[in-house]
Amino acid sequence: MGTPIEISEQAGVRYLHFGSDWVQGAMRIRKPNALELAYTREMMSGLLLRDGLHEVPAVDAGQWPRDVLIIGLGAASLAKFVYHHCPQARIQVVEIEPAVVAAARQFFRLPPEDARFSIHIGCGAQYVLDRQRRFDYVLVDGFDRNARAGVLDTLPFYQALRSRLSAQGLMAVNLFGRARGYKASIERIIRTFDDRVLAFPSCDSGNVVAFGAAGEPIERSIPELRQRAAALKAATGLDLLPTVTRLEQSGTLPGGQLTL
């Protein structure tokens, strides 16, 4: 693939680029395990939907998610957050470009591989097709230097991915860079997940995060989402209260109820 890797820093934040001005990942140097970019925070909104970090007592081995698949490493923001804040989770990262993994290790404090954290070098779509393992949470954030997702934004990929989701499975996908084909991307996800889809309002950066749900239905009221977001913020520092507000203001939750 030969992706050109570039690193920049500004105002205490380190950025990853693939040979262009597009930001492929970021880390606040003084808070290396925090989610610096808004869309990465919203990709973790599954923690509001299933029973996990917001629950009392603290995280235990029975909580969601137990198995996480991350397609596209970038600056390792999602991988680090899950690794440090979901100790019950086994994490599989799939990254097509070895240089990205090397950069994450050198510049973005990528955790070492161990019993619960592993990295596979290869195509994310092929990985999903070749394995039978099921996952509770799949985070899809893979792009080339021109912000194109390629095979990771196709109906066969989404269908294969859904078949790998557990009875409490959720997929979160970053649709950044697909402005012209945004509606087509959403239609593919809707078709795959039988309309059990939630597309968040676009972030200031232009990123749109979409969720597809499988298995057990999800029903959360706005007050319940706010309560869960407050507990999640207290536990991890991740503030999804603005996300809940944006969802409420967008008119995408009929009757103030999120149903997936």
Average pLDDT over residues 150-162: 92
pLDDT of residue 4: 86
User: In the predicted model, is pLDDT for residue 192 greater than 70?
Assistant: yes
3-state secondary structure of 181: coil
Which percentage of the chain shows pLDDT scores above 90? 74
For residue 208, the model assigns a pLDDT of: 87
Rounded CA separation 89/233 (Å):
19
Q: Between 20 and 179, name the one with better pLDDT.
A: 20
Q: What is the mean pLDDT of the chain?
A: 89
**Residue 148: pLDDT band by 50, 70, 90 thresholds?**
low
Q: Of 246 and 113, which is predicted with more confidence? A: 113
Model pTM greater than 0.85? Answer: yes
pLDDT exceeds cutoff 60 at 175 = yes
Q: Are 95 and 24 in contact (CB under 8 A)?
A: no
By CB atoms closer than 10 A (0-12, 13-18, 19+), residue 4 is exposed
Top pLDDT among 58 and 166 is at: 166
- Provide the residue ranges of all domains of the chain, joining segments of one domain with +: 37-232
Q: Which CATH architecture has domain 37-232?
A: 3-Layer(aba) Sandwich (3.40)
The residues near 234 (Cβ < 8 Å, ≥ 6 apart) are none
Mean pLDDT, range 172-176, rounded to an integer: 87
Q: pLDDT band for 58, please (50, 70, 90 cuts).
A: very low
Asked whether the predicted pLDDT for residue 57 surpasses 50, the reply is no
Question: What's the pLDDT tens digit per position in 95-135?
Answer: 999 999 999 999 999 999 999 999 999 999 999 999 999 99
> 62: pLDDT confidence band, cut at 50, 70 and 90?
low
CA-to-CA distance for 106 and 133, rounded, in angstroms?
Answer: 30
Please tell me the distance from the alpha carbon of residue 120 to that of residue 108, in angstroms, as a whole number: 18
Examine the pLDDT at 149 and tell me if it is beyond 90. no
Sign of CA dihedral 180, 185, 187, 188: positive
As annotated, the active-site residues are: 141
